Structure 1
Amino acid sequence: MHTKKQLLWADLSLLFIALAWGYTFILSKDLLTELTPFVFTGTRFLVAALILLPFVWKRLRSVSREVWIQGAVCGIALCAAYTLQILGIERTTPGKAGVITGTNVILVPFLYFLWRRLPVKKGAVIGSLLAFAGLLCLSGEGEWAGLSSGDLLVFLCAVFFALHILMVDRAYEKHQDIDTLAFVMIQLMVVGVIDTAIAAVSEPIPHQLSGYGWFAFWFDCLIGTLLAYVVQIKAQQFSPPVHVSILLSLEAVFAFLFSWLLWGEPLTTVVVIGVALMLAGIYVTELSDHKEKADEVDRI
């Protein structure tokens, strides 16, 4: 049974990831002027995996065949999500991409029901609907109105992000002693190898990056990929999938704020209402989840 301290650590960690990912939408949009999509995604994950490799090399040898398979399947879902996202970002604004990615908040509880045939908690459903209402406010406002091909690609990426959250949760249910770093390593390597292979046969090799380009690449690689997925997958040991998706959906709020500050996207009353609804959804889910967890902890 998890303690209140562990639950708080998980929540704060997921909040940090959401902040970092919100910023990476801006960096990724800018970096795509210097790198092609598959080169960027492939090298980002491959470099992150190679950095992690020395720390998990011995652990990988003790990982069971079943965990390897589950890690590879999770990696394929993650690869689909990031590939679709980066192709979508190329065709839409970073703020809008962040908000549409956040629609996984409404997908997770219902995919969870369809996949597991288990009831979804009332608080999670209400929180997800509030957050989704906020996303609708953001997506239908001003310059955001209407869907482009990039928006549709990013929405498909949200579906795969939702599936990835559920797959990781399922893996932890079946193997509670999974080595987090080894599990992350398998997924990073799968994404890196697949997208690098596609880049090798379909895209030109870049000759050089600007100073800002290197900063954007290494931030995406180290913070937005390596650290983010180690923390997320560790945090999922303590938080249920719907709860995780609600907190990570805050990346949409952060993406829009960074896009407003750095890209000049408009900040209107409807946008503020949308952000407020998203925060309300998170609060409702937090309140419901923490009440249940606190009751469980108190009974220990």
Structure 2
Amino acid sequence: MLHNDAPDKPTQSRLMIGRPELALMGATILWGASFLIVHNAVKETGPFFFVGLRFSTAALIALPLALPVLRGLTARELLAGLMIGIGIFAGYSLQTWGLQTISSSTSAFITAAYVPLVPILQWIILRRRPRLASWIGVALAFVGLLLIAAPRDGLALGQGEALTLISTLAIALEIIFISLWAGRVNVARVTLVQLAVTALLAFACMGPAGESVPPFSWTVVISACGLGAMTAVIQFVMNWAQRTVSPTRATLIYAGEPVWAGIIGRIAGERMPATALLGGLLVVAAVIVSEINFERRRKSADAKEVRDPQASAVS
């Protein structure tokens, strides 16, 4: 998921749900469903071929939008697309690889941990000190991840869990790379480059990984191409909706992604142990808590007290 770093925008009513919110909810449900789709598809294909087919489809869909302005591609945009593409490739390839051995629900809950990781990596790379909420989110996510892995392997992560956990680092780096170049590049051109880079890297890694082109399967083709088209559509929906939906409200909606994945996985027959389910809920809580701005609320409370000290004393 991509985050809009713009400041929160005032809304008429916090409880009112309009078309932008409904659109984001729909996108979140689709993202949640994608875990089960990938989980079933990689039973018939290797992860690199699937990721390559998925993102080459997305690149072909994005091509008509970028083609009219493609001649203006700059070195900065090429670098931005390359770096973001590497992050997407690493994140999705490892996540898809992990889905060969773990359930879609488990993968979704672990993947959600990328949200509290972003501020920590920003501190390391960009020297932006994390807020208190970020540290609380990381602590909740850490405990949640231990509970997700513990039911089967004690405190040792299995291969699928470990690969998915590493993928969250790549996804978090992707978000940071996007923020580095946000506002300084043409979105259409960079989007096309990053999608194409992801597809090319995935296909290029098939040989070294010993992965061959699988026998033709409608499950693989429909899943990969469908997810590629869905990726392009969801990015458009997110860009449209987040013009009026605040980043905090959008993040609260996005936090439902692993929940929807768990619901869809359960309908499909997946069962998570109670401890793993508790761990997943802690990861969702980490996503929500990490977006709370305690400092802004404290400043607002202080300002209110200055304006109306008597009311503060009465309360």
TM-score under structure 1 length normalisation = 0.78
2:173 is equivalent to residue 163 of structure 1 = yes
Q: CA 1:247–1:110 in structure 2 vs 1: closer, same or farther (change >3 Å)?
A: farther
Amino acid across the alignment from 1:179: N
| Higher relative helix content | 1
Contact kept, 8 Å, 1:82 with 1:157, in 2: the verdict is: yes
Contact kept, 8 Å, 2:255 with 2:288, in 1: the verdict is: no
Aligned counterpart for 2:211 among listed residues 179, 203, 209: 203
- SS in structure 2 at match of 1:263: coil
Q: Partners in 2 of 1:110 and 1:149 — Cα distance?
A: 25
- SS in structure 2 at match of 1:140: helix
Aligned counterpart for 1:221 among listed residues 208, 228, 236: 228
Q: Partners in 1 of 2:24 and 2:127 — Cα distance?
A: 26
Amino acid across the alignment from 2:260: F
Amino acid across the alignment from 1:208: F
Shift of 1:110: 1.0
Q: Kindly provide the CA deviation profile for residues 43-72 of structure 1, in whole angstroms up to 9, marking residues without a partner as x.
A: 110111012101211222223221221111
Residue in 2 aligned with 1:72?
82
Contact kept, 8 Å, 1:243 with 1:289, in 2: the verdict is: no
Contact kept, 8 Å, 1:105 with 1:245, in 2: the verdict is: no
* Higher Cα Rg, which structure: 2
- SS in structure 1 at match of 2:161: helix
Q: CA 1:141–1:93 in structure 2 vs 1: closer, same or farther (change >3 Å)?
A: same
Q: Partners in 1 of 2:175 and 2:113 — Cα distance?
A: 13
Q: Partners in 2 of 1:278 and 1:214 — Cα distance?
A: 32
Q: Partners in 1 of 2:180 and 2:254 — Cα distance?
A: 18
Q: Partners in 2 of 1:166 and 1:280 — Cα distance?
A: 22
Pairing of 1:3-82 with structure 2 (within 5 A):
3-4=9-10, 16-82=26-92
2:126 is equivalent to residue 120 of structure 1 = no
Q: CA 1:233–1:19 in structure 2 vs 1: closer, same or farther (change >3 Å)?
A: same
Q: CA RMSD in A?
A: 3.7
- The percentage of aligned residue pairs carrying the same residue is 24
2:269 is equivalent to residue 263 of structure 1 = yes
Residue in 2 aligned with 1:189?
196
Residue in 2 aligned with 1:298?
none
Aligned counterpart for 2:157 among listed residues 140, 147, 169: 147
Q: Partners in 1 of 2:76 and 2:246 — Cα distance?
A: 22
Which shows bigger deviation, 103-112 or 118-127? 118-127
**Structure 1 stretches of 5 or more lacking a match?**
296-300
Aligned counterpart for 1:253 among listed residues 248, 252, 259: 259
Residue in 2 aligned with 1:87?
97
Shift of 1:228: 3.5
